[in-house]
Chain A
C-alpha cells in the first residue's frame, strides 16, 4: 500500500464520520446525568478478535444485479439476540410488522460483516454491546439477555435509552444508539417501512411535477401563520 493510499483511506474514514460528528442531537438536554437503575455495571468487554478477511463488492459491481459479496458472521445466538432486540426496538403495531418479523436482523448481520471501515467500527460497537448485554443480564439476573423476562429486558433497554447517561453507561448507551440507528435504516428503507411512514414516491409521474397537494399547502399556510410569516407563492 502506498502512503497516499493509506492517507486516502484515513480521509475517507474521517469524512464518513464527519456528518455524524457535526450533528447535535436536538433532544439531548444538557444537565444532570441519569444514573442507571442498578448499582453493578458490567465492564465493557475486551476488544473482539478481528473478522476473517472478506471482499467488498468492488468499485465496479454489476448494478443491475446487486449482490452482497461477503459472508454473514453473527453466531446463531448473536443473531437471535439481534432479532429479539429488533422486535423490541421496532415492534409490530397496527401500521407495520416488527423489525424481527421483517428480517431486519439479517441486515444488521450484513452490515457488521461488511469489510468496510465504518461497518467494521460498528461491528466492534454492536458485538461488544451484545456481549455487554449478556454480561449485565447475568450480573443482575444470572441469565443471559435472551433468558430474561420481558419486563427485565425492557428495564435494560430503558437504562440504555436515557438522555444523559452516567459515565459508566456511555459505551452501552452508544451501542444502543448505533443499533437503533441501524434498525431504523434497515426497517424504513423496506417497502413496509416506507408504507409505515406514509411515504409516497418512487413512481414515475409524467408531465409537469404536480407539486404539493391542496391539503399539504393548507398545512403550510397554517404553519406560516403560526410563525408570523407572510404567505408564500412559488
Chain B
C-alpha cells in the first residue's frame, strides 16, 4: 500500500514558512524526506497579490503608513504587522517592545530588507574578544561554506569589501553589484575623506537571471519598491523560490492558517508532533512526525516551546535559558540637506530599490585598543534619492516659491541609517504572560527590554560619525545633535531583528540547542530560526539564518539516513 502523502504522517513537521522554514523544506525534501509545513498565516501568492506598478497616488493616503499597514499601503505584509487582532502580546512595566508578526505564507521574506552581509570571525567569538556575552560553539570557518552556497542559492549581488571582520565571498558566489547613485558616490567621497570606508552592499536581489525548471527568477529590472514583493522573483522571497521548488518534489504539504500551539512530547521528552489551531475554524488538530523543525521566528518559536512540555518550565528548557538573551539591532537615522546637490541633473535613481553601497563597521582597531566606550559594531545603510523632499529641508514659504523650493530640494537630502549590535543583558527576555491568552486560548508572550550603555554609546558614536560625513559635504543637519542618544534610538524589536532566546552552545547547562539547532533535551527537535543565535552581530541576520538552517537541515537528513531518528 502506498501511503497518501497528504494523510500519512510526515517525516518532518516544519513550523513556519519564512527564511528558515523555507530553507528547511527545500533542503529536506531534496534529501527525500516528506515534510508537512504549518504556517500560522494565510496562503499568499505574490503573482496575483503584489501590486508592483501602481503609483502611490492610487492608494489611500498616497500609500502612507497607517496602523493597518505600518510600512505603507502596498507593503507585502498582509494580515499581520505590529498588531494582530485577537493575538496580543504584552510588556513588563516600563518596557516598550514591538513585535512584528506577519501572518502569511513566506513570512517576513515577502517584504524584508534584503541586506545580507556575511558575519565575520569576531561575530562568532564575541566573548573571546571583549568578555561580554558568550561565544558561539562554531566559528566563521564552520559557517563559511554554507554562506558560499546560500549566496548562490538565493541570489546575492555585491562586491568585495576587504576589511577586518568583513569576509569576502569567494569568486562566483555573488552577482555583479549595481552602479552607485550620485548621492551614494558623494557619501563615499565624504566618508572616505574622514576615514570611514564605503563598500558595495550585499543584497539579495538578482542582477542576472536565475533559470530553474520550477521557479525561474528574473534579474531585477531596476524599478518598483522591493517591499511590495516581486512578481518576477528578482528579490529573494520563499514564496517565489524555496516553497514552489520544494512542492515540486511531491514531498511537501503546506497547511496555512495553522497556528501551532505546542510541541507534543513523549515520556522520554522526544517530540512526537505538534498541536495546532486552525485560525479560521478554531478547531484543534494534532499531527505526528518523526522530527519537528521549529522555524516560526524567534518569538513564536520560543513561545510555543514555553507553552509545551512541563507547565511553568516548557520543553527543551533544562538550561533555563529559553526566552533569555533576547536582542534586537539598535537603530537611529540621520539626515542632512546638501545644498551642493540642489537642482542636480535628473536621471533614473530607482536601481535595485534599496542601497547599492553602504558603510560597514570600521573602527575595530581603535576598539581593540580600548579607545571606544562601547563594545561591538554598527553599520550605516545609505539613502538619498530624487523624490518629494522632507518639509524640514525647505524654507517656510508658499506659492511659486514653494514649488521652486520643492524642485530645488528634490534629490538633495541624504541619510545614514544606523544598525548596530546589542549585547544580551539580564533585563531583556521574553516569557509567558501568566494571565493573557490569545483568541485561541494560547498563552501569549510578555517582553522585558532595555538597552545598556554599550548600545547608547554606540549610537552616540554613530551620530558623531554621521555628522563628520555630513560636514565633509557641507550638509545641513536635519536632526538635533543635542538630543541624548537614548532618545533617538528605536524601540526594542522595532528593527525586527529579534534573536537569541533559545541560544546554541557547547554546554547543555547554558544553552538550549547545539550548533545544529538540535535541542539538548529532545534529539528530534531542531530549531532553525533566529532564536538559536548566541549573539546578534550588527550585520542583518537573514543570511546567517539561512546558512545555519541549511547546515542544520543537512545534518538532520544525514541523521535520518543513518537511522538515528526513530
Residues of A within 8 A of B (CB): 2-5, 7-9, 11-12, 15-16, 19, 22-28, 56-61, 63-64, 66-69, 88-91, 93, 95-96, 107, 110-111, 114, 116-119, 154, 157, 161-163, 176-177, 180-181, 184-186, 188-191, 193, 196-213, 215-217, 219-220, 223-224, 226-227, 229-232, 234
Task: Compute how far the CA of A39 lies from the CA of B440 in the bound complex, rounded to whole angstroms.
Answer: 63
Which of chain B's residues have a CB closer than 8 A to the CB of A68?
60
Q: Is the CB of B73 within 8 A of A199?
A: no
Of the residues A56, A114, A189, A201, contact of B57 by C-beta under 8 Å: A189
Q: Within B396-455, which residues are at the interface with A (CB < 8 Å)?
A: 396-400, 402-403, 406-407, 410, 436, 444
Given contacts A58-B68, A186-B62, contact A196 B407 (CB under 8 A): yes
Which of chain B's residues have a CB closer than 8 A to the CB of A196?
403, 406-407
Which of chain B's residues have a CB closer than 8 A to the CB of A111?
61
Q: Is the CB of A230 within 8 A of B346?
A: no
Q: Is the CB of B436 within 8 A of A4?
A: yes
| Interface membership of chain B positions 456-487, coded 1 if the CB is closer than 8 angstroms to chain A and 0 otherwise | 00000000000000001110111110010000
Minimal beta-carbon separation of B59 from chain A (angstroms): 5
Task: Compute how far the CA of A234 lies from the CA of B357 in the bound complex, rounded to whole angstroms.
Answer: 9
Q: Within B522-536, which residues are at the interface with A (CB < 8 Å)?
A: none
Minimal beta-carbon separation of B7 from chain A (angstroms): 30
**Does B219 count as interface, using CB distance less than 8 angstroms?**
yes
Which of chain A's residues have a CB closer than 8 A to the CB of B472?
227, 229
The residue in A157, A198, A211, A226 that gathers the most chain B C-beta atoms within 10 A of its C-beta is: A211
Which of chain B's residues have a CB closer than 8 A to the CB of A224?
186, 189
Q: Is the CB of B347 within 8 A of A213?
A: yes
Chain B, interface SS category: loop
**Does B302 count as interface, using CB distance less than 8 angstroms?**
no
Given contacts A66-B60, A196-B403, A216-B346, 19 further A-B contacts (CB under 8 A): A4-B90, A15-B491, A25-B478, A27-B394, A59-B84, A63-B74, A63-B78, A66-B58, A117-B67, A119-B61, A177-B396, A189-B57, A190-B55, A196-B407, A198-B386, A209-B179, A213-B347, A223-B186, A232-B188
Closest B residue to A20 by beta carbon equals B392
Which of chain A's residues have a CB closer than 8 A to the CB of B483?
22
Chain A, interface SS category: loop
Q: Is the CB of B403 within 8 A of A211?
A: no
Closest A residue to B77 by beta carbon equals A59
Task: Compute how far the CA of A60 lies from the CA of B308 in the bound complex, rounded to whole angstroms.
Answer: 31
**Does B341 count as interface, using CB distance less than 8 angstroms?**
yes
Task: Compute how far the CA of A124 lies from the CA of B66 in the bound complex, rounded to whole angstroms.
Answer: 18
Closest A residue to B487 by beta carbon equals A22
Minimal beta-carbon separation of B111 from chain A (angstroms): 12
Given contacts A22-B479, A63-B73, contact A180 B67 (CB under 8 A): no
Of the residues B67, B81, B223, B400, contact of A205 by C-beta under 8 Å: B223
Which of chain A's residues have a CB closer than 8 A to the CB of B352?
209
Q: Within B321-359, which residues are at the interface with A (CB < 8 Å)?
A: 333, 335, 337, 340-341, 344-352, 356
The residue in A69, A119, A210, A232 that gathers the most chain B C-beta atoms within 10 A of its C-beta is: A232
Which of chain B's residues have a CB closer than 8 A to the CB of A90?
402-403
State the 10 A-B residue pairs at the shortest beta-carbon distance, nearest first. A211-B179, A204-B221, A209-B178, A27-B395, A232-B189, A23-B392, A26-B476, A60-B79, A4-B90, A205-B222
Which of chain B's residues have a CB closer than 8 A to the CB of A186?
62
Q: Is the CB of B190 within 8 A of A201?
A: no
Task: Compute how far the CA of A157 lies from the CA of B403 in the bound complex, rounded to whole angstroms.
Answer: 15
Q: Is the CB of B80 within 8 A of A59?
A: yes
Which of chain B's residues have a CB closer than 8 A to the CB of A69?
60
Closest B residue to A63 by beta carbon equals B51
Given contacts A8-B83, A26-B337, contact A93 B386 (CB under 8 A): no
Closest B residue to A157 by beta carbon equals B398
Q: Is the CB of B50 within 8 A of A63?
A: yes
Of the residues B68, B81, B391, B480, contact of A181 by C-beta under 8 Å: B391
**Does B393 count as interface, using CB distance less than 8 angstroms?**
yes
A-B contact pairs, 16 of them (CB 8 A): A12-B70, A16-B65, A24-B477, A27-B395, A57-B68, A59-B69, A60-B79, A61-B68, A64-B49, A64-B51, A88-B398, A199-B387, A201-B386, A202-B55, A206-B222, A232-B189
Of the residues A56, A110, A209, contact of B351 by C-beta under 8 Å: A209
**Does B193 count as interface, using CB distance less than 8 angstroms?**
yes
Which of chain A's residues have a CB closer than 8 A to the CB of B562?
none
Closest B residue to A10 by beta carbon equals B96
**Does B255 count as interface, using CB distance less than 8 angstroms?**
no
Which of chain B's residues have a CB closer than 8 A to the CB of A2?
88, 90, 436
**Does B118 count as interface, using CB distance less than 8 angstroms?**
no
Of the residues B56, B178, B228, B473, contact of A208 by C-beta under 8 Å: B178
Which of chain A's residues have a CB closer than 8 A to the CB of B407?
95, 196-198
**Does B207 count as interface, using CB distance less than 8 angstroms?**
yes
Of the residues B78, B185, B444, B479, contact of A60 by C-beta under 8 Å: B78
The residue in B78, B89, B396, B436 that gathers the most chain A C-beta atoms within 10 A of its C-beta is: B396
**Does B176 count as interface, using CB distance less than 8 angstroms?**
yes
Task: Compute how far the CA of A162 lies from the CA of B478 in the bound complex, rounded to whole angstroms.
Answer: 19
Task: Compute how far the CA of A185 lies from the CA of B82 in the bound complex, rounded to whole angstroms.
Answer: 25
Q: Is the CB of B88 within 8 A of A4?
A: yes
Given contacts A180-B402, A202-B55, contact A56 B66 (CB under 8 A): yes
**Does B390 count as interface, using CB distance less than 8 angstroms?**
yes
Which of chain B's residues have a CB closer than 8 A to the CB of A4?
88-91, 436, 444
Q: Is the CB of B337 within 8 A of A114?
A: no
Q: Is the CB of A163 within 8 A of B396?
A: yes
Q: Is the CB of B179 within 8 A of A210?
A: yes
Q: Is the CB of A219 within 8 A of B345?
A: yes
Q: Within B367-394, which residues are at the interface with A (CB < 8 Å)?
A: 386-388, 390-394
Minimal beta-carbon separation of B432 from chain A (angstroms): 14
Closest A residue to B332 by beta carbon equals A22
Q: Is the CB of B348 within 8 A of A210?
A: yes
Q: Is the CB of B78 within 8 A of A208?
A: no
Task: Compute how far the CA of A176 lies from the CA of B386 in the bound complex, rounded to whole angstroms.
Answer: 25
Which of chain A's residues have a CB closer than 8 A to the CB of B181?
211-212
